[in-house]
Amino acid sequence: MSQPAFAGEAPKWSLAIHGGAGTLDPDKMTPEKRSQYEAALQAALDAGSKILSEGGAAMDAIKAAIIIMEDSPLFNAGKGAVFTWDGTNELDASIMDGRDRSAGAVAGVKTVKNPILLADTVRTQSEHVFLMGAGAEAFAVEKGFAVTPPDYFATPARAEALERLKEEKVSALDVDHKFGTVGAVALDTKGNLAAGTSTGGMTGKRWGRVGDAPLIGAGTYADNRACAVSATGWGEYFIRVGVAHEICSRLRMGRESEQGIADGVMADVKSLGGDGGVILVTPLGGAFFSFNTTGMYRGRATSDGINEVAIFGGEEKASATPDH
Ligand code: ASP
């Protein structure tokens, strides 16, 4: 489905990104930390926006944005991923193309620098949607991915979080304070939507636990008829609600506003006891956020001139609903 044509109007593009949601406390965030996060989010936003503003594909824009966040130790994806109970870093990612709803996902990979690219290779170069563990890594090698030494992903801050979780017998939420999963969703000027999500999961995960991030329909979904969604939060709840697909389905039925639908689905997650947030873009170029936590690392840029990054609730300067 292409965008509706309006006389004299250039086709719209739109991009939203997230770097995790959580119980963030403005008083505990130093100006230095804040500017580090803002700079990383802005770099990801700029990489994706450049592609979209030059007429590039939504799929390329989300990959460019996500790779920058996977490579940054600030986020729980790629380098800087949280530790499992056994002291390893196990990465999950998924990606979906709204044109044909082709999708790719990987879970529990330990030696792939940019899991989002492996997920995309599953999408484009295999007959499958979802590969896990050793099989996913064998597929990566077969497709020419370099084997990254597992200690590349480890950072002291994440190692300390695991130690604290074990010593103080607390939950991942107590040591992480935020979900640092990364994601991006985009609309390109041809009217195509794409979504992607990448994560290390939750600190102290055991027994091969897999969250929502690599699950198509839970953490990621894209459908040109409705929207593109990427989620971050307590994965078990997002799986049970089927968050990303639920938002797209309700939008396809078209009876409520985009913000209302996203907020409604996040309220549903909350009612079960889960927290986190979502980003979405729509075929008309809207870029929305919804989260039931105090903050979400996020950013959005559109062809209408919006370009902003934010961390705590209510920091947006502009409405991101395009007027038609
Ligand atoms: N949703 C991720 C998971 O449950 C965690 C996150 O968003 O940081 O694995």
Q: Does residue 104 lie within any of the structural domains? A: no
Q: Does residue 76 lie within any of the structural domains? A: yes
Contact 259, 234 (CB under 8 A): no
pLDDT at residue number 64: 98
pLDDT at residue number 324: 45
Q: Is 232 in the pocket of ligand 1 (CB under 6 A)?
A: yes
pLDDT, averaged across the chain: 93
Mean pLDDT over 261-290 rounds to 96
**At CA 321, angle to CA 69 and CA 65, rounded to 5?**
15
- Residues designated as active site: 181
DSSP states of 67-83 as a string?
HHHHHSTTSSSSTTPPP
Q: Is 176 in the pocket of ligand 1 (CB under 6 A)?
A: no
Inter-CA distances, 312 with 38, 140, 163, 299, Å:
12, 37, 28, 11
pLDDT at residue number 168: 83
Number of Cβ within a 10 Å radius of residue 296? 27
Residues of the domain holding 213: 14-99+155-312
Question: Dihedral (C-alpha) 222, 223, 224, 230: value to the nearest 10 degrees?
Answer: -20
Mean pLDDT over 241-252 rounds to 97
Supply φ then ψ for residue 106, to 5 degrees.
Answer: -135, 150
Q: Does residue 240 lie within any of the structural domains? A: yes
Amino acid at 268: D
State in Å: Cα 115 to ligand 1 middle. 15
Predicted confidence (pLDDT) per residue in 145-201, tens digit: 999 999 999 999 999 989 988 988 777 777 766 778 999 999 999 999 999 999 999
State in Å: Cα 138 to ligand 1 middle. 25
Query: Which residue, judged by its Cα, is nearest atom 7 of ligand 1?
Result: 232
217 token code pair? 């329909």
pLDDT at residue number 170: 78
Q: Does residue 81 lie within any of the structural domains? A: yes
Q: Does residue 4 lie within any of the structural domains? A: no
User: Pairing mode, if any, of strands 130-132 and 182-187?
Assistant: unpaired
Q: Does residue 149 lie within any of the structural domains? A: no
Q: Does residue 115 lie within any of the structural domains? A: no
Run of H or E including 47: helix 31-53
State in Å: Cα 232 to ligand 1 middle. 5
State in Å: Cα 323 to ligand 1 middle. 34
Predicted confidence (pLDDT) per residue in 26-81, tens digit: 888 889 999 999 999 999 999 999 999 999 999 999 999 999 999 999 999 999 99
Q: What CATH number should be reported for the domain holding residue 169? A: 3.60.20.30
Atom of ligand 1 nearest to the CA of 236: 4
Q: Is 90 in the pocket of ligand 1 (CB under 6 A)?
A: no
Atom of ligand 1 nearest to the CA of 180: 8
Q: Is 76 in the pocket of ligand 1 (CB under 6 A)?
A: yes
User: Pairing mode, if any, of strands 130-132 and 102-109?
Assistant: parallel
Q: Is 97 in the pocket of ligand 1 (CB under 6 A)?
A: no
Contact 103, 94 (CB under 8 A): yes
Q: Is 235 in the pocket of ligand 1 (CB under 6 A)?
A: yes
Tell me which long-range contacts 108-111 makes (C-beta under 8 A, separation of at least 24). 108/132, 108/133, 108/136, 108/208, 108/210, 109/133, 109/136, 109/137, 109/140, 110/137, 110/150, 110/153, 111/137, 111/140, 111/147, 111/148, 111/149, 111/150
The three-state secondary structure class of 324 is coil
pLDDT at residue number 251: 96
Mean pLDDT over 100-113 rounds to 98
Predicted confidence (pLDDT) per residue in 205-240, tens digit: 999 999 999 999 999 999 999 999 999 999 999 999
Distance in angstroms (rounded) separating the CA atoms of residues 301 and 65: 12
Task: Decide if pLDDT at 242 tops 60.
Answer: yes
The answer to the question of whether 274 is labelled as a binding residue is: no
Task: Decide if pLDDT at 320 tops 90.
Answer: no
The answer to the question of whether 86 is labelled as a binding residue is: no
Contact 290, 263 (CB under 8 A): yes
pLDDT at residue number 1: 46
Q: Does residue 71 lie within any of the structural domains? A: yes
Mean pLDDT over 14-19 rounds to 98
State in Å: Cα 247 to ligand 1 middle. 18
Query: Which residue, judged by its Cα, is nearest atom 5 of ligand 1?
Result: 201
Burial class (CB in 10 A: 0-12, 13-18, 19+), 324: exposed
The answer to the question of whether 232 is labelled as a binding residue is: yes
- How many domains would you assign to the chain? 1
